[in-house]
Amino acid sequence: MNELFLSLGLASWKPLLAALLFPPLPFLVLVVAGARLMFRRRGLAWLLVLLGVAGVWLGSTSLVSGGLERWLLKPPPALTESQITELKRAPRTAIVVLGGGRRHDAPEYGVATLNSIGMERLRYGLWLSRQTGLPVAFSGGLAPGSEPGATEADIAARIAEREFGRPLRWTEAESRDTRENAIKTVSLLAPQGIERIVLVTHAYHMRRALRNFERALAAAGANMRITTAPMAVSGRFEMTLLDWLPSTAGFAQTRRVLHEYVGLLAGA
């Protein structure tokens, strides 16, 4: 499905389709449909309204968002201390951080900056670099439909050097999505003799990112190993009353999980 969108030149439609497909819009449609039927088919109308309200409520809870992440995406565990120690002795290895978005207009800085997702990934990648001594590559251009300007990779290079004091070794600034992150990063690192990639992204995104990198390596005939380094990995779950209450964080996480799962199904 993803290949079809790209071949038809419809990549810029992906944000619009996501807005239409993921909560809260589908549940709001149920509520409106139920209201429309209220005076003709009262039983069906109330069912649609209740389903819509329940969907919005539950989809905004950390209980549901966390459960969906574990059930649908099955993210790998975080790196252990022993794995990080082993990476210190790994030759020809590069940490690869995947972009997560940017803020085109950040007046408090006077320049564009990474969004919170991108910053979290960059920070963890640079932390891993400090712990292991490994060089870092950042992959991220402009997402479909973005305003022109500095790419995610350009912004990340500036932040890494000026704010963290750890310059990036490589930047890949042409990719528009996870598939292109993988293809273009592999083509960048393979000629450098890199034999192992430590892949950094959020836990909910890791399964799709890993699949794309495995495909890119196979297509390029590159002999590289991949070590997953997910971040924001959910810890042991202990349910509390607050987990049943709606929150902006729960709502955002549910959308991200569903976005990743649909991406997996569509081959993106």
Domains and CATH numbers, the chain: 14-73+245-266 (no CATH), 81-230 (3.40.50.620)
pLDDT at 25 over 80: no
64-83 burial: b if 16+ Cβ within 10 Å, else e: bbbbbbeebbebeebbeeee
Select the more confidently predicted residue: 238 or 170. Answer: 170
| Distance in angstroms (rounded) separating the CA atoms of residues 119 and 116 | 5
Distance set, CA 134 to CA 23, 88, 108, 148, 190 (Å): 40, 7, 32, 32, 16
| DSSP state string for 112-140 | -EE-HHHHHHHHHHHHHHHHH---EEEE-
What's residue 4's pLDDT? Answer: 55
Under the banding of pLDDT at 50, 70 and 90, the label for residue 10 is: low
pLDDT score of 50:
82
Question: What's the pLDDT tens digit per position in 187-215?
Answer: 999 999 999 999 999 999 999 999 999 99
pTM of the model: 0.84
**9 pLDDT above the threshold of 60:** no
Dist CA 198 CA 203 (whole Å): 14
Report the percentage of the chain scoring pLDDT > 90. 59
Max avg pLDDT among 25-29, 73-77, 248-252: 73-77
What is the arithmetic mean of pLDDT over 95-104?
A: 95
Region 166-185: mean pLDDT is: 96
The pLDDT-based confidence of 6 (bands split at 50, 70, 90) is low
Tell me: pLDDT of 237 over 80.
no
* pLDDT tens-place string over residues 111-168: 999 999 999 999 999 999 999 999 999 999 998 777 889 999 999 999 999 999 999 9
Q: What is the pLDDT of residue 144?
A: 77
Q: What pLDDT is stored for residue 244 in this prediction?
A: 84
